[in-house]
Chains A and B, each alone.
Chain A
Amino acid sequence: SQTIHQWPATLVQPVGSPLSLECTVEGTSNPNLYWYRQAAGRGLQLLFYSVGIGQISSEVPQNLSASRPQDRQFILSSKKLLLSDSGFYLCAWSRDTQYFGPGTRLLVL
């Protein structure tokens, strides 16, 4: 069966510091991968998606970037965090149905 991991589970970072969140998927190959942000516990905003290694599509201009160095690894990064980057970050994979990871809670102070 397939599983999806995210780490860290929670993160508190100062404004201006760098960020790296990691997502890995097991039990499947060549999945579509997605990064979402959920603010205030409600709506989901699609940030990035990837259909293959090195292929990244950005949905919204922002302070964040994404990379896919391996087939089942998806990384969300920032060089300098802003207060507005705080939120709950969710990674998902799909072939047809999207399945979500447990999420990372990021608090930027």
Chain B
Amino acid sequence: AQSVAQPEDQVNVAEGNPLTVKCTYSVSGNPYLFWYVQYPNRGLQFLLKYITGDNLVKGSYGFEAEFNKSQTSFHLKKPSALVSDSALYFCAVRGEYKGYGNKLVFGAGTILRVKS
């Protein structure tokens, strides 16, 4: 069975400092991994994905994520946090075999708070 864990309910960071939002996964076969961001009362916005290739994936708004197969992790990172990065972040996974419907499994979400 596929699963995603986001071990931190909330991450607090000062503006200008680097940030990391953690994600670990379990899936059969090679994983397809995704990060989304959600602002209050809005839909989820796609940030980045890992399918294959370079383990460091760059995405929107200066975010990047590092795929680590041995640790089954896909942590989201940004070198310098902005107050406007404060939001709810979701990690999601599916296996390489799409299956019927190409469904994703989402983590519970991590609230990121960036303080000025």
Contacts and interface: CB of A to CB of B under 8 A. Distances in A.
Interface of A: 6, 32, 34, 41-44, 46, 49-51, 57, 88, 90, 92, 94, 96-103, 105
Given A100-B43, A101-B43, A103-B41, A46 B100 contact: no
A90 B49 CA distance: 20
B44 A100 contact: yes
Interface of B: 34, 36, 40-46, 49, 88, 90, 92, 100-104, 106, 108-109
Contacts of A98: 34, 46, 92, 104
B43 A102 contact: yes
Nearest to A88: B41
A93 B106 CA distance: 15
16 contacts: A32-B101, A34-B103, A44-B44, A44-B90, A49-B101, A49-B103, A50-B101, A51-B100, A51-B101, A94-B102, A100-B44, A100-B45, A102-B42, A102-B43, A103-B42, A105-B41
